[in-house]
Amino acid sequence: MERTFIAIKPDGVQRGLISEIIARFERKGFKLVAIKLVTPTKSFAQKHYHDLKERPFFDGLCDFLSSGPVLAMVWEGEGVIKYGRKLIGATDPQKSEPGTIRGDLAVVVGRNIIHGSDGPETAKDEINLWFKPEEVTSYTSNQEKWLYGEN
């Protein structure tokens, strides 16, 4: 089953939005398979955002991501990479639709509270960067037959 890497950034953690954000993914029907609270080093943040290294905001972004605890998670479900990004909303909260996480809960692009992998390759790379294989669980939830049907 498809998996994606989702992280609540230091602003989301500090603002007490962990339960609100997890609830939105859970209620949709996605399954949490890995979770930990970590404060990344700046060089780890630079690895995570390596594809943005030429952007003018890169240094500030990496300082920010490493400024406090981040809630790192892996979520599983059919279409979770693309739909997870839909739940999150557009990068700039001024442009995110109401009803999305950033649309409802954030105001500016530099403090947009959550990260989600943008495709299958980055999902795989980011899960491997943030988690050891033994930290990612695999289990069947009782809900699955009701979420997906049996045939």
**Cβ closer to ligand GTP: 104 or 144?**
104
Cα separation of 108 and 104, whole Å?
Answer: 12
Site for ligand GTP in 114-143 (CB under 6 A): 115-116, 118
The least distance separating Mg ion from the CB of residue 118, rounded to whole angstroms, comes to 5
Structure tokens at 130: 């943030």
Residue 84 near ligand GTP by CB under 6 A: no
**Sign of CA pseudo-dihedral 123, 37, 1, 27:** negative
Burial class from Cβ neighbours inside 10 Å (0-12, 13-18, 19+) for residue 3 reads: buried
Q: Which is nearer to ligand GTP, 28 or 111 (CB)?
A: 111
Minimal CB distance residue for ligand GTP? 91
SS3 for 75? strand
Binding residues vs ligand GTP (CB under 6 A):
52, 57, 61, 91, 109-110, 112, 115-116, 118
Positions marked catalytic: 115
